[in-house]
Amino acid sequence: EVQLVQSGGGLVVPGGSLRLSCEGSGVSLTTFNMNWVRQAPGKGLEWVSYIDRSGGRGIVLYADSVRGRFTISRDNGKNSLYLQMNSLRTEDTAVYYCVRENRGFDPWGQGTLVTVSS
């Protein structure tokens, strides 16, 4: 089955850090650009970050709301994508999805909930 398997969410206090992971299962990530998208409770979709297929020295982009606090990276050898989230704020509380760029955004990971609360 083609899927993106996410891990790493949870509860964290404001100012804390979390690292999200996303691994391709039955699907290659290595030759595709990748993104993180989040959805706050009861709200719409918000794009978070992008990394091109080359990883290391390639293009990375961030939404204004997370720039300087979040870092996207990938390990093509492990067919995996990561999001390091630092200086977390209550407004970062959301379900985070990893998603491959292929004919739009497809497929999507199952989502992982990040809750920032004291």
Binding site for another protein (CB under 8 A): 35, 37, 44-47, 50, 61-64, 97, 103-106, 108-111
Question: CB-wise, 27 or 61, nearer to another protein?
Answer: 61
Closest CA to 10 of 100, 88, 107: 88
Closest distance to another protein from the beta carbon of 54 (Å): 18
Q: How far apart are CA 118 and CA 13, in angstroms?
A: 5
Pairing relation of β-strands 112-116 and 10-12?
A: parallel
CB of 21 to another protein, least distance (A): 16
Q: Between residues 37 and 85, which has the closer beta carbon with respect to another protein?
A: 37
Helix (H, G, I), strand (E, B) or coil at 57: coil
